[in-house]
Structure 1
Amino acid sequence: MNRPLAKFTPPPPPVSYRPLDDGWRQWIAENRLRDCTAESVIATMVAAGVHPHDAQISVMQMESNPVFLAARRHQELLRKLESVVANQQRLWESAPRYATVEKRGEVEADEFVERYVRGSRPLVLTGLTADWPAMKRWSPNYLKQHFGHLSVEIQCKRNSDARYEENKLDHREVQLCGDFVDRVVSGGPTNDYYMTANNEALRQPGFAPLLDDIGSLPPICDRAQLSRSSSFWFGPAGTVTPLHHDTLMLFHTQVVGRKRWRFISPLDTPKLYNFNGVFSPIDVDKPDLKRFPLFADVTMLEVVVEAGETVFLPLGWWHQVTSLDVSLSFSFSNLNIPNQFSYANPTMPDW
């Protein structure tokens, strides 16, 4: 008697787990050094496809790894340094008007050096540009009439890249100055294009007349160095220079329009997740405190700089700058005191 074959149900395929490699081991070490708990590290690995037993063993083994133990020792030294700067920052913040950016008409050279350069305080000068021809001449139309035939380098397609300033070389575009003026005037508020300091326009002979429109300089500046130590900025309302610090001191004069400056002390650097160069990934307009919780303890200074006013940016101060109007600005770093400094910048853009 022929009987029908029993229905065959194949066994489930074996579970495929991700192998542990050196990339995973480095990831474990980095996150344990960040004080992520062993349990959270294991849970993340398992969720990513690592066998639970392998994840647990690898995390346990890391705790006795001699290279990891050496890293722990260096971490102790780093945390001592962080505590030193954090305590110094607490002293700075205890000043009654710490969070206020002063605005002053003029400051004598000796006071400027002691109070703002060596004292490391941002300042806005309100009387510097009284004799600047630029204050009466500069406008988008003036640029188009006198320099419209010259080529300029701008940053473009910034809105498509969250790291547009870090990747600024990828966003270069050259066009006629007159065409860019039309683009700014007609385009409305945007952060998509901006003529920044990187344009080097003032090194072109055709733009030299702009330097003739600059009058008195702060008493700590060397006029002879102006042409090679200055930059021209032009863009629409809505441009944002993301949070970063410069490697020297400079002045930034607002000729047309207004900009909002936010400042953060260099002593707060450990709270700014500075993984790449001089940049922080934090947007101070909408900080992600879940991702960057240390930022919650940062004290930020804020000031709106009006047309005719000049910001002094002291050494190492973090800043994020937003244009509130169509803006023409002029920055210069020709201080007649030492203004060359070296920073050991990190190079971990994907950390």
Structure 2
Amino acid sequence: MVSCKVEVPVVNVKSREEFEALIYCNRKPAVIRGFDLGPAPQLWTADYLRGACGDTPVKVHVCPTPKMDFISKNFAYKTLPFNQFVTRASKAVQDEFFFEKDEKYYLRSLGNNPRKDVADFSQDWPQLSKDITLPHFFDEANYFSSVFRVSSAQLQLWTHYDVMDNLLVQVVGKKRAVLYAPNEVHNLYLEGDKSAVLDIDNPDVDKYPLFSQAVAHECLLQPGDILFIPALWFHNITSLEFGVAINVFWRHLHKGFYDTKDPYGNKDPLPAQRAIQAVERALKLLNELPDTYKDFYARRLVSTIESNSYTK
């Protein structure tokens, strides 16, 4: 049994004012159509990308299966010239390969210094940025990063959440996006910020019995579509075809809530980090007690959290 599904609404939006009035105030996902991205959706064929970016080296994920799992790390990082990477990512069967002839490839662009610099598409990929107009539906002071993504057909990324709002700008190829609201956290079997349920269409009901209660918000993204993903909304993305996309992230909270040493922008807000650490310390303390007492006080902690007014 799979979760209940609802369709993500499609809204025609051309400006920041329309985005704020029709979408942003609701704090729910929406597919944006009608925004003019420029020539990129028609221009960025595999041949064009190879010619524009040449043999620039890129670090990519290579996965022997279509379902990438960041918990089990069922992939490897490999460095390839960009033109060779695009050739492989745009093919279903490889002449040269690392693991399997039908292995999948995925690029998540990084900053010049991955340990310090955030990804910025316009600076990092100037040979492509001239072809596209990205939406800026937010205060520029809150801008964080813009991430260039290229993926093989049928590649599915694990279900996870981000701590910042973002726009997934689908430039080339079709994608399937499945999202879950933040209040579904109990049904998604989290390990950190990622769901342990890898196959969301055919989950192991014995291992993940609550997953069938989660409501899935689903949409099909066409080239030129833009998906608004609010902070803390879980999302699972499948490239149905060779795909090129750009994520634009911005801060929803005050800048002081975010970790300044986080170039990926995926660490929990600082108060949340401290709260999680406090819970982990509490659990270690409870382990000193006999099982009956440990179970009682663990349930009491959960009851305290659930009964607190700010969770209602």
Partner of 1:310: 226
Give me the whole-angstrom Cα distance separating, in 2, the residues matched to 1:272 and 1:171: 25
Task: Please tell me whether Structure 1 or Structure 2 has the larger radius of gyration of its CA atoms.
Answer: 1
Aligned to 1:280: 195
Instruction: Name the SS of the counterpart of 1:194 in structure 2.
Output: strand
Match of 1:181 in 2: 86
Counterpart of 1:211, as a letter, is: S
Partner of 1:255: 171
Letter in 2 for 1:184: A
TM-score after normalising by structure 2: 0.68
What is the CA–CA distance in structure 2 between the aligned matches of 1:329 and 1:285, rounded to whole Å? 24
The answer to whether 1:192 aligns with 2:111 is: no
In structure 1, the residue matched to 2:33 is: 126
Query: d(CA) in 2 for partners of 1:215 and 1:182?
Result: 25
Q: Is the 8 A contact 2:13 2:19 kept in 1?
A: no
Q: Which amino acid aligns with 1:242?
A: W
The residue number in structure 2 matching 1:10 is none
**Cα separation, 2, equivalents of 1:229 and 1:306:** 23
The equivalences for 1:1-351 within 5 A come to 99-106=6-13, 109=16, 112-113=19-20, 116-128=23-35, 130-159=36-65, 164-166=69-71, 171-188=76-93, 192-197=104-109, 202=120, 207-220=125-138, 222=140, 229-274=145-190, 276-282=191-197, 283-334=199-250, 338=254, 340=258, 342=269, 343-344=272-273
Find the aligned partners of 1:287 and 1:151 in 2 and give their Cα distance: 37
**Greater fraction of residues in strand:** 2
> Which residue is 2:294 aligned to?
none
Counterpart residue type for residue 288 of structure 1 = D
Amino acid at match of 2:137: P
Cα deviation digits, residues 104-126 of structure 1 (max 9, x gap): 11166466446644532001111
Code of the residue aligned with 1:281 in structure 2: it is: A
Post-superposition Cα deviations, 1:121-160, rounded to whole Å, max 9, x if no partner, equal 00111112x2423223212111111112211110013539
Aligned CA distance change for structure 1 residues 266 and 101 (closer, same or farther; 3 Å): same
**Richer in helix (by share):** 1
Question: Secondary structure of the equivalent of 1:132?
Answer: coil
Give the whole-Å Cα distance in 1 for the aligned partners of 2:6 and 2:251. Answer: 26
Q: Mark the CA change 1:188 to 1:257 in structure 2 (over 3 Å): closer, same or farther.
A: farther
Q: Deviations over 1:161-187 (max 9, x none)?
A: x77424669721111011111212333
Change (3 A) 1:192 1:253: same
SS class of match (1:268): helix
Note the aligned Cα RMSD (angstroms): 3.4
2: CA distance between counterparts of 1:231 and 1:310?
A: 14
CA distance in structure 2 between the partners assigned to 1:109 and 1:202 by the alignment: 21
Change (3 A) 1:265 1:334: closer
Identity level (%): 23
* Pair 1:145–1:238, CA change in 2 (3 A): same
Q: How many residues align?
A: 247
The one-letter code sitting in structure 1 at the alignment partner of 2:133 is: G
Change (3 A) 1:135 1:163: closer
SS in structure 1 at match of 2:42: helix
User: Counterpart in 2 of 1:70?
Assistant: none
Question: Contact 2:231–2:252 at 8 Å: present in 1 too?
Answer: no
Between 1 and 2, higher relative CO (CA 8 Å, sep ≥ 6) is seen in 2
Amino acid at match of 1:165: F
The answer to whether the 8 Å contact 1:155/1:168 transfers is no
Contact in 1 for aligned 2:39/2:131 (Cα 8 Å)? yes
Q: CA deviation at 1:214?
A: 2.5
Q: Which residue number in structure 2 is paired with residue 9 of structure 1?
A: none
1:331 CA drift (Å): 1.0
| CA shift in 2, pair 1:216/1:322, >3 Å | closer
Give the 3-state SS of the residue equivalent to 1:99 in structure 2: strand
Note closer, same or farther for the CA distance 1:324–1:170 as it changes in structure 2 (3 Å cut): closer
Structure 2 residue matching 1:294: 3-state secondary structure: helix
Task: Tell me by how many angstroms 1:203 deviates.
Answer: 6.5
Contact 2:166 2:250 in 1 (8 A): yes
The separation in 2 between residues aligned to 1:295 and 1:195, in whole angstroms, is 29
Q: 2:283: which partner in 1? A: none
Distance 2:200 2:146 in 1: 27
Contact 1:220 1:336 in 2 (8 A): no
Any idea what SS the aligned residue of 2:219 has?
strand
